[in-house]
Homo-oligomer: A and B are copies of this chain.
Amino acid sequence: MCAGLFNAAIAREQQFHDLGECPLESGEIIEDCVIGYRTLGALDARGSNVVLIVTWGLGTSGEVLGNETMIGPDGWVDPERHFIVILDAFGNGVSSSPSNSRRQPGEHFPAFTILDMVHAQHRLVTEGLGLEQVHAVTGVSFGAMATYEWVIHYPDFVSHAVPVVGTPRRSPFDRMIGEVTLNALADCEPHCEQARESSWLSFVLMLRSPRYWNRRLEQDQVADFIEQMREAAKNQPDTHDMLSQSRAGLAFDVSASFDGVLERAAQVIEAEVLIVVANHDMIATPESSRVFADLSGARLYESDSDCGHLAFLAACDGEAIAAEIREFLW
């Protein structure tokens, strides 16, 4: 019965909400602006069991929906308990993106910020779904950065927030390594495929810590593994989509709306916040998160998993992280 309900929930289909125009902080506009989403579970009588999940970089609501580490009886949220709304991010190829925009395709798609996206998602959740408040917002990485904007810009709307392996402000290392990687993709003709492969492979390696790779691979597996990574790199998502999210993610700083003062961003938060970081994370290094936890009084869970940015996976520290989140949210 229980499993049946869950499987039924898994079948929930991709939905879209048309917002018309989405104005951006830059003054530009995303035309024919659409936010994709999927829902799982049912709203309770008091409307108090809504959990929003924002997709990770290049991830889709379909991928989040199938993720048993996050969703299910042993996950972060459970469709038997929560009404889960998974929000597709701008640039993920489902919500408005360079790859699917007819009027602003590819490089004509305007640069957006994560806050721009959160404003659009808020319109979907309030105007589209008619929700007046949510129990929680959560997300991984890109979705975690969005989670910060939700609690800072809609403080009355969100009761709990769980940003996982994200950051309230990109640290110097994040910004520098990210800029170097993106730089390799600029002006790359006629070797863009090679440039994309290189930057993708170094991103894949940095997703986990050196210690993980050295533990996981035997010497004689390295050559094959590089070949596998190369093969997998051929199925990369659209480059413009990737760049649009990378740029938004690399520039991310919740204090941007507060004259660069992180304290002021922390002070407007009314939600209870659980910040989950990974000490060996090289994509969203944990320093800013620790500072922000201090400033905001948020609860902080530091994973020591050598999986780094992927610490939340089941094979890494996923079980402990899920237990921590359940204890906080349920």
* Interface, chain A (partner B; CB < 8 A): 169, 171-177, 179-181, 183-184, 186-188, 191, 194-195, 197-198, 201-202, 205, 210-211, 213-219, 221-222, 225-226, 229, 253, 260, 282, 285, 287-288
Assembled-state Cα–Cα distance A253/B219 (Å): 10
Assembled-state Cα–Cα distance A139/B170 (Å): 36
Residues of B within 8 A of A176 (CB): 201, 205, 213, 222, 225-226, 229
Residues of B within 8 A of A183 (CB): 194, 197-198, 201
Residues of B within 8 A of A184 (CB): 184, 194-195, 198
Whether A191 contacts B194 by the Cβ 8 Å rule is no
Assembled-state Cα–Cα distance A177/B214 (Å): 12
Given A213-B172, A214-B287, A287-B214, A177 contacting B205 (CB threshold 8 A): yes
Whether B180 contacts A210 by the Cβ 8 Å rule is no
Whether B172 contacts A217 by the Cβ 8 Å rule is yes
- Per DSSP, chain A at the interface is helix
A208 CB to nearest chain B CB (Å): 9
Whether A188 contacts B187 by the Cβ 8 Å rule is no
Which chain B residue lies CB-closest to A182? B198
Assembled-state Cα–Cα distance A205/B181 (Å): 12
Residues of B within 8 A of A253 (CB): 219
A133 CB to nearest chain B CB (Å): 33
A260 CB to nearest chain B CB (Å): 8
8 residue pairs bridging A and B, Cβ less than 8 Å apart: A172-B219, A172-B222, A173-B205, A179-B226, A180-B205, A191-B191, A210-B285, A219-B253
Residues of B within 8 A of A187 (CB): 191, 194
A286 CB to nearest chain B CB (Å): 9
Whether A285 contacts B214 by the Cβ 8 Å rule is yes
Interface centre among A171, A172, A253, by most chain B C-beta atoms within 10 angstroms, is A172
Whether B282 contacts A172 by the Cβ 8 Å rule is no
Whether A177 contacts B191 by the Cβ 8 Å rule is no
Which chain B residue lies CB-closest to A188? B191
Whether B219 contacts A202 by the Cβ 8 Å rule is no
A171 CB to nearest chain B CB (Å): 4
Which chain B residue lies CB-closest to A253? B219
Given A172-B219, A222-B172, A180 contacting B202 (CB threshold 8 A): yes
A264 CB to nearest chain B CB (Å): 15
Residues of B within 8 A of A205 (CB): 173, 176-177, 180
Residues of B within 8 A of A180 (CB): 198, 201-202, 205
Which chain B residue lies CB-closest to A183? B198
Whether A282 contacts B219 by the Cβ 8 Å rule is no
Residues of B within 8 A of A177 (CB): 202, 205
Whether B175 contacts A211 by the Cβ 8 Å rule is no
Assembled-state Cα–Cα distance A176/B219 (Å): 11
